Amino acid sequence: MTNAAMRRAQLEALVEAQGGCRATPPLLLPADPYFDLAGEEFGRRLLLTADLTGAEHCLRPEFTLPIVRDYIADGTRQPAAFTYLGPIFRQRETGPAEFDQAGIELLAQTNGEVALDQVFTFARAALSIYGLPTRIRLGGVGLFEALLVQADMPAAWRPRIRHRFGHTEAMERLLARLEAAPDAPRQEQPARDVLIEDVTARMVSSGLSLSEGRTPEEIADRYLEQQALDAAHVPAQTLKLLRDYLAISGDVLSALRQIEALAESHKLMLGAPIRAIRRHLDKLGEAQVSFDAGFSPRLDYYTGIVFEMTGRNGAVLASGGQYDRLLERLGATAPIAASGCALWVDRLEAEVSA
């Protein structure tokens, strides 16, 4: 047995040893749920094909979605653990479009923090099969959401800022815009019903349906809200808080201390999410852990803590975290805790041979 084959066999054994159900979703999956969940940005990575009816299918681009959909369809709501190891297919700039991914999904566990610990343990065990040191980059989705809720600003700005979390450039543009907001005297607002009438007339004259897409009421309301927002400034102090917070990056302990100091000076209660991160650190022991305040996947179903394990040159070897909003997004009728991670098997092997 070559060394690579041995490592592969050990990875198989690790995946089998998690006490969960080994999931083997089909290779050919309907494409729509992926577009629905992750939009065009992920959609461009899919390998698509169509059947005779014109329905679009894709080659399995990852495992989480089919596993979670099957779980919801079962309707059990019982705690469940799934593991997987097999080929996935994505368009990539370099490297073949078919490559292996392994991973774990822990659903509806009674303690989401214990579940995340199990995910960390699984990922670290995989890295150690390949003889790699654990370098973890943590992100705090829950921490940022807690900060945002308490930061002083007009409520309507919060979803706009939250929406840009994890996209450094978009966030930068928004903050710059807010900082530059001129102190324009507030103009007289047209009445809501006059606006609605005006918008309705415009829609009718260009042949737009008044009900299929955005409605005249929705447009008028957002117009008024926008005018109000332009007048309702985010205080300069809050903008500075956001900038200072998002700039925090580095060794986890000193990063958390900086965040605590920031919370103290702005009178924010961030104790609970910070403690949650610290608890996991105790379990991570020897690993080299950094925290990056601005780090988050660009998918709104992530919650709590997210992470990446990286190799030399920053290649992502494992990524995952907590995503308690995912099951609801996929049709579950109540919130269900979820956490897990995916391992990039080809990159793990590449780290060894490099």
At closest approach, how far in Å is the CB of 143 from other proteins? 21
At closest approach, how far in Å is the CB of 78 from other proteins? 29
Task: Measure the CA–CA gap between 324 and 18, rounded to whole angstroms.
Answer: 21
Residues at the contact surface with other proteins, assessed by CB under 8 A: 35-36, 38-41, 44, 93, 159-160, 163-164, 167, 169-171, 173-174, 177, 195, 198-199, 202-203, 205-209, 212-214, 216, 218-220, 222-223, 225-226, 298
Comparison of 162 and 283: residue with beta carbon closer to other proteins: 162
40-49 contacts at long range (C-beta below 8 A, 24 or more positions apart): 41/298, 44/91, 45/90, 45/91, 45/92, 46/89, 46/90, 46/91, 47/89, 47/90, 47/91, 47/97
Comparison of 113 and 221: residue with beta carbon closer to other proteins: 221
Comparison of 177 and 267: residue with beta carbon closer to other proteins: 177
Comparison of 26 and 39: residue with beta carbon closer to other proteins: 39
Distances (CA, A) of 330 to 36, 238, 346: 9, 35, 29
At closest approach, how far in Å is the CB of 184 from other proteins? 15
At closest approach, how far in Å is the CB of 39 from other proteins? 4
At closest approach, how far in Å is the CB of 201 from other proteins? 8
Comparison of 69 and 280: residue with beta carbon closer to other proteins: 69
At closest approach, how far in Å is the CB of 44 from other proteins? 5
Comparison of 24 and 49: residue with beta carbon closer to other proteins: 49
Token duo for residue 300 = 């709104």
Task: Measure the CA–CA gap between 284 and 141, rounded to whole angstroms.
Answer: 19
72-80 contacts at long range (C-beta below 8 A, 24 or more positions apart): 72/327, 72/330, 72/331, 72/332, 77/108, 77/334, 77/336, 78/108, 79/106, 79/107, 79/108, 79/109, 79/110, 80/20, 80/21, 80/106, 80/107, 80/108
At closest approach, how far in Å is the CB of 61 from other proteins? 16
Token pair 């009900």 is found at 211
Comparison of 135 and 162: residue with beta carbon closer to other proteins: 162
3-state helix, strand, coil in the chain (%, to 5): 50, 20, 30
